Amino acid sequence: MSRLLIKNAQIVTMNTKEEIIKGDLLIKEDRIESIGLSLKETIADRVIDASGRTIIPGFVQTHIHLCQTLFRGKGDDLELMDWLKKRIWPLEASHDEESIYYSAMLGIGELLQSGTTTIVDMETVSHTDYAFRAIAESGIRAISGKVMMDKGNEVPVGLQEKTAESIQESVDLLEKWHMYDSGRIQYAFSPRFVVSCTEELLREVQKLSTHYNVKVHTHASENKGEIAIVEQETGMRNVVYLDHLGLANERLILAHCIWLDEQEKQIIKERGVHVSHCPGSNLKLASGVADVPGLLDAGSSVSLGADGAPCNNNLDMFNEMRLAALIQKPIHGPTSMNARTVFKMATIGGARAVGMDHEIGSIEIGKKADLAILNLNHFHTFPSYDVDPISRIVYSATRADVETTIVNGRIVMEKGLMKTVDKETVLKEADASIKRLLSRTAIVS
Ligand SMILES: [Zn+2]
């Protein structure tokens, strides 16, 4: 039994009492064994001195596209439908197995280095097995799936798929990867959005997600143009339509949810649907500002995600937390989204969205050891005297302050050095991959 002892830390637990405890943290294998006791170094195989350091639960990002990390900087200054049709779909259609792998590794490297330990990820139509390989090797905790899109205008040939093929490939991937490495990896059915999916496909996803008891991860009500298409085709609002198909339940994770009406908000609340709020992406694509305070006041589940690299252009939870708080203040007032509310969304709120709040999202005895060690001894995070540590983390800290990241009891980054992702190779292959993709992609300007 391997034991890792982290000494003398300030531990921001995010347990139900939101306790902040000073002392030692002991990890046995993949789980937290004790918190706050002063333990002898001899009981552990490995000791980390965390004097003056702050331990937080690893961040849970509930909306990510690892397959798009290679497109960072390739879709700037466009709104959603142009961004998809002119850039992202043609680029996704050009992916090959190797480019999917390195796109995933590039994203995972960034995520782990900035303290994110769990992601909900949506891949593209093809080669998703190679994203799962990167996830498996890197040690990150992930709920992922191939995107499903069996209809739509202006979709490049490389992304067009038949309903039956889309379902069969999803099921094959699920059977190979769901619950891999004792559940560190899980599968989620990932229909892109209503605009890209036939009713037949969505009905089948509903049946299969019930049968396998897995998540459904999709986008909804991100953009007014998108909603107009859905209303025209189905005669219903987005969330009403998903509910009509039986998809609105506690297994559903909906990215964005900016333009909801009262009926849709009610469905989200009553059915226990999880909303993934992506403020960086929503601002950059000029989509709008979601009514997160309203959703939270109603008791709905809201968590955070960076979305994809080409619409953000970072996968950095510190960025998302800061934006999630600040963008609401001019609309709803200065107290509407405080640091604690946002930090909860970034940790235990994300864990709740993926149905794993009994396992991750807070630092508690018996839970999985998914955490980040921060060094807040910097000009930009001082003074520390009589300042709420959560205020320091949400409003002042940056990803550069993450010193060490641990997932499932395994150190994946230590003192800035990646243990499971070969940075030099990934950067080199990322450039080689995007060069190869661009040479065969018809980008519409
Ligand atoms: Zn997205």
CA angle 218–66–124, rounded 5-degree value = 55
Contact call for residues 35 and 11 (beta carbons, < 8 A): yes
Q: Above 80 in pLDDT, residue 201?
A: yes
Q: What percent of the chain has pLDDT over 90?
A: 97
Question: 117 alpha carbon to ligand 1 midpoint, in Å?
Answer: 19
Question: 366 alpha carbon to ligand 1 midpoint, in Å?
Answer: 33
Question: 219 alpha carbon to ligand 1 midpoint, in Å?
Answer: 6
Question: Closest Cα to residue 222, out of 79, 436, 321?
Answer: 79
Which pair of tokens denotes residue 142? Answer: 């992930």
Residue 443 sits at φ, ψ, to 5 deg, of -80, 130
Q: Above 90 in pLDDT, residue 12?
A: yes
Question: 292 alpha carbon to ligand 1 midpoint, in Å?
Answer: 17
Question: 282 alpha carbon to ligand 1 midpoint, in Å?
Answer: 10
Q: Above 90 in pLDDT, residue 250?
A: yes
Question: 345 alpha carbon to ligand 1 midpoint, in Å?
Answer: 18
Confirm or deny that 63 is annotated as ligand binding: yes
Q: Which CATH class is domain 59-353?
A: alpha beta
Confirm or deny that 378 is annotated as ligand binding: no
Query: Looking at the DSSP assignment, which residues form a beta bridge with residue 348?
Result: none
Question: 124 alpha carbon to ligand 1 midpoint, in Å?
Answer: 11
Q: Above 90 in pLDDT, residue 153?
A: no
Q: What is the pLDDT of residues 57-88, one digit of tens each?
A: 999 999 999 999 999 999 999 999 899 999 99
Q: What is the pLDDT of residues 369-396, one digit of tens each?
A: 999 999 999 999 999 999 999 999 999 9
Q: Above 70 in pLDDT, residue 145?
A: yes
Confirm or deny that 219 is annotated as ligand binding: yes
Same topology between domain 3-57+362-418 and domain 59-353 = no
The pLDDT score that the predictor gives to residue 70 is 98
Domains of the chain, by residue range, sit at: 3-57+362-418, 59-353
Q: Above 90 in pLDDT, residue 441?
A: no
Question: 334 alpha carbon to ligand 1 midpoint, in Å?
Answer: 28
Which pair of tokens denotes residue 138? Answer: 């890197």
Question: 31 alpha carbon to ligand 1 midpoint, in Å?
Answer: 31
The arithmetic mean of pLDDT across residues 289-313, rounded, is 97
Q: What is the pLDDT of residues 264-293, one digit of tens each?
A: 999 999 999 999 999 999 999 999 999 999
Q: What is the pLDDT of residues 217-234, one digit of tens each?
A: 999 999 999 999 999 999
Which pair of tokens denotes residue 73? Answer: 């900087």
Question: 222 alpha carbon to ligand 1 midpoint, in Å?
Answer: 9
Confirm or deny that 211 is annotated as ligand binding: no
442 — pLDDT class (breaks 50, 70, 90): confident
Average pLDDT along the chain: 97
The pLDDT score that the predictor gives to residue 445 is 61
Question: 211 alpha carbon to ligand 1 midpoint, in Å?
Answer: 25
Question: 107 alpha carbon to ligand 1 midpoint, in Å?
Answer: 14
Contacts of 72 (CB under 8 A, 6+ apart): 309, 310, 313
Residue recorded with tokens 């992609």: 441
The pLDDT score that the predictor gives to residue 337 is 96
Of all helices (H) and strands (E), which one includes residue 333? none
Cα–Cα distance for residue pair 66/59, rounded to 1 Å:
16
The pLDDT score that the predictor gives to residue 373 is 98
The pLDDT score that the predictor gives to residue 134 is 98
Question: 362 alpha carbon to ligand 1 midpoint, in Å?
Answer: 26
Residue 335 sits at φ, ψ, to 5 deg, of -95, 0
Q: Above 90 in pLDDT, residue 258?
A: yes
Provide the whole-model pTM: 0.98
The pLDDT score that the predictor gives to residue 354 is 98
Question: 306 alpha carbon to ligand 1 midpoint, in Å?
Answer: 9
Confirm or deny that 380 is annotated as ligand binding: no
Please tell me the least confidently modeled range out of 86-90, 102-106, 135-139, 151-155: 151-155
The pLDDT score that the predictor gives to residue 444 is 62
Fold for domain 3-57+362-418?
A: Urease, subunit C; domain 1 (2.30.40)
